[in-house]
Amino acid sequence: MVGLKGSFQSMRSLNRSLILHIIRQNGPISRAEIARQTRLSPPAVGNIVSGLLDSSLICESKQGVSSGGRKPVMLMINSRQFFIIGLDIGSFQLKAVISDLNGSIFKKITRRIPQNIEKEQLILFIKDSVHDLKEASDLTDEAIMGIGIGMHGVVDWENGISLFAPNLGLRDIPLKEELELEFQMPVRVENDVSAQAMGELWFGNGSGLDTFVCINVGRGVGAGVIVDRKLHRGSSFISGEIGHMAIDLKGPKCTCGSHGCLQSFTSGPSLAEAVKRKIILGNQSSLSEEFSGNLSAIDGEAICRAAENGDVLSRSALRQAGRYLGIGITNLIHTINPSRIIIGGGVANAGGLLLNAMKESIRQRALTNHAKETEIELSQLGGDATVLGAVSLILDEMFAVQDG
The least distance separating Zn ion from the CB of residue 241, rounded to whole angstroms, comes to 9
Which C-beta is closer to Zn ion: that of 266 or that of 288?
A: 266
Contacts made by residues 129-138, CB under 8 angstroms, sequence distance 24+: 129/87, 129/94, 129/96, 130/85, 130/87, 130/96, 130/179, 130/182, 130/183, 133/85, 133/96, 133/97, 133/98, 133/107, 133/109, 134/85, 134/98, 136/107, 136/109, 137/83, 137/98, 137/106, 137/107
Which C-beta is closer to Zn ion: that of 207 or that of 258?
A: 258
Considering only 254-262, 290-298, 314-322, 365-373, which stretch makes contact with Zn ion by CB under 5 A?
254-262
> CA 205, CA 312: separation in Å to the nearest integer?
33
Under rule CB under 5 A, residue 358 binds Zn ion: no
Specify whether the CB–CB gap between 239 and 233 falls below 8 A.
Answer: yes
Pick from 306, 307, 317, 215: nearest CA to 272: 317
Under rule CB under 5 A, residue 274 binds Zn ion: no
Which C-beta is closer to Zn ion: that of 96 or that of 254?
A: 254
The least distance separating Zn ion from the CB of residue 193, rounded to whole angstroms, comes to 15
Binding to Zn ion by CB under 5 A, coded x per residue (else -) over 275-294, reads --------------------
The least distance separating Zn ion from the CB of residue 55, rounded to whole angstroms, comes to 48
Which C-beta is closer to Zn ion: that of 73 or that of 246?
A: 246
List binders of Zn ion among 148-167 (CB under 5 A): none
Pick from 109, 80, 89, 113: nearest CA to 97: 109
Would the CA dihedral through 263, 148, 207, 41 be positive or negative?
A: positive
Under rule CB under 5 A, residue 94 binds Zn ion: no
Task: Please compute Rg for the chain using Cα positions.
Answer: 23
Under rule CB under 5 A, residue 45 binds Zn ion: no
Under rule CB under 5 A, residue 11 binds Zn ion: no
> CA 199, CA 353: separation in Å to the nearest integer?
26
Which C-beta is closer to Zn ion: that of 9 or that of 258?
A: 258
Q: Which conformational region is residue 336 in: left (phi greater than 0), alpha (psi within -120 to 50 degrees), or beta?
A: alpha
Number of residues located near Zn ion, criterion CB under 5 A? 5
> CA 60, CA 161: separation in Å to the nearest integer?
40
Amino acid at position 88, single letter: D
Q: Which of 76, 256, 336, 371 binds Zn ion (CB under 5 A)?
A: 256
Which C-beta is closer to Zn ion: that of 261 or that of 398?
A: 261
> CA 351, CA 357: separation in Å to the nearest integer?
11
- H or E element, residue 380: none
Under rule CB under 5 A, residue 362 binds Zn ion: no
The least distance separating Zn ion from the CB of residue 246, rounded to whole angstroms, comes to 8
Binding to Zn ion by CB under 5 A, coded x per residue (else -) over 227-246, reads -----------------x--
Considering only 183-191, 247-255, 282-290, 351-359, which stretch makes contact with Zn ion by CB under 5 A?
247-255
Q: Which of 261, 302, 354, 391 binds Zn ion (CB under 5 A)?
A: 261
Under rule CB under 5 A, residue 126 binds Zn ion: no
Under rule CB under 5 A, residue 262 binds Zn ion: no
Under rule CB under 5 A, residue 254 binds Zn ion: yes
Which C-beta is closer to Zn ion: that of 261 or that of 341?
A: 261
Contact positions vs Zn ion (CB under 5 A) = 244, 254, 256, 258, 261
